[in-house]
């Protein structure tokens, strides 16, 4: 019996630098990824409708010369806004990682409130590039990337971050309450005192000063996810710099190559797309 391989578009542009490892993560999870330059979409050589999952990987699209993710978001908005709207409305999955999260926010696909600019990702409170591992708690019960056979609400995971403009802010208290009430907060930075509730308030556990420790959000439907941490950098147990401590206590897992906390997001997404949309 042939196993359906969902088709994944990993969109790259000048300055993107995480597309190869992100494509590999989806391939490892059983999908059929394709790294495609944004120009191919803009020229209509390829169409979004060919794919089941759309990925905006990390990096520095167009050098972030006019702001993180600004140029790529503007190019997509001017030529592909309707196509992106149809893709999201179909229920297919979209993920933006780091720079990709910034693109989704600038496009308005996150938080996905038509006509409103309610959230922003701005320079870290430290005023410097932060490159470190963080602890996160899954908050969303409606996001296929985070809820599946190996993911659940309240799940704690470790992922690396690497960004200078990752501080998540909201326009006003009402917007923050709307994110909460509609279940759109996907991930929070946590520390030892807030693993079960609350969030990390102090640097470096909250590495950028994000309000309420928010590290990722979804659209109201949950099929669009943006997050600052890099799940593609923790696919294997050996990717975690603390793996020796874990191995000393429990030994290495049998499927070490697919045992990193980040791999679960790709595994869940592929399983969801395979069951829901893939027909090829």
Cα separation, 228 vs 248, whole angstroms:
30
In Å, how far from its chain's centre is CA 101? 6
Other CB atoms within 10 Å distance of the CB of residue 83 = 15
Q: Within 13 A of 41's CA, how many CA atoms are on the CB side?
A: 27
Q: Two tokens at 182? A: 């509609």
Could you give the percent of the chain with pLDDT greater than 70?
A: 98
Q: For the chain, list the domains and their CATH numbers.
A: 7-276 (3.40.50.880)
Task: State the average pLDDT over residues 163-190.
Answer: 97
**What Rg do the C-alpha atoms of the chain give, in angstroms?**
18
pLDDT in tens, 14-54: 999 999 999 999 999 999 999 999 999 999 999 999 999 99
Mean pLDDT calculated for residue range 126-135: 97
The secondary structure of 82-117, three-state, reads HHHHHHHHCCCEEEEECHHHHHHHHHCCCCCCCCCC
**Both structure tokens of 153:** 């609400």
CA distances from 260 to 23, 233, 238 (A): 16, 9, 8
Q: What is the pTM of this model?
A: 0.96
Cβ(25)–Cβ(232) below 8 Å: yes
Catalytic residue positions?
A: 98, 230, 232
Q: Is the pLDDT of residue 71 over 50?
A: yes
Q: Is the pLDDT of residue 144 over 70?
A: yes
Query: Measured between alpha carbons, how far is 234 from 218 in angstroms, rounded to an integer?
Result: 21
> Which of 96-110, 197-211, 241-255 bottoms out in mean pLDDT, i.e. has the lowest?
241-255
DSSP 46-73: S-GGG-SEEEE-SB-GGGGTTSTTHHHH
Tell me: pLDDT of 236 over 90. yes
């Amino acid at each position: 019996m042939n196993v359906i391989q969902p088709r994944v578009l990993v969109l790259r542009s000048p300055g993107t630098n995480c597309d190869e490892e992100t494509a590999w993560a989806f391939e490892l999870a059983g999908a059929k990824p394709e790294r495609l330059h944004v120009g191919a979409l803009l020229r209509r050589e390829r169409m979004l409708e060919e794919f089941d999952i759309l990925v905006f990987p990390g990096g520095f699209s167009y050098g972030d010369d006019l702001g993180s993710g600004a140029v790529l978001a503007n190019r997509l908005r001017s030529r592909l806004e309707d196509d992106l709207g149809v893709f999201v409305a179909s229920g297919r999955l979209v993920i933006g990682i780091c720079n990709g999260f910034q693109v989704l926010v600038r496009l308005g696909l996150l938080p996905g409130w038509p006509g409103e600019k309610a959230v922003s990702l701005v320079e870290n409170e430290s005023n410097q590039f932060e490159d470190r591992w963080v602890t996160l708690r899954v908050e969303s019960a409606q996001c296929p990337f985070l809820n599946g056979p190996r993911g659940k609400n309240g799940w704690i995971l470790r992922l690396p971050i690497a960004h200078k403009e990752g501080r998540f802010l909201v326009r006003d208290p009402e917007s923050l309450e709307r994110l909460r009430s509609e279940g759109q907060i996907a991930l929070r930075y946590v520390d030892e005192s807030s693993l079960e509730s609350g969030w990390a308030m102090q640097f470096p556990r909250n590495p950028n000063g994000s309000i309420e420790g928010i590290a990722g959000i979804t659209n109201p439907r949950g099929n669009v996810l943006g997050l600052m941490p890099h799940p593609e950098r923790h696919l294997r147990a050996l990717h975690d710099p603390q793996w020796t401590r874990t191995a000393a206590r429990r030994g290495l897992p049998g499927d070490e190559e697919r045992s990193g906390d980040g791999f679960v997001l790709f595994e869940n997404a592929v399983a969801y797309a395979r069951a829901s949309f893939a027909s090829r």
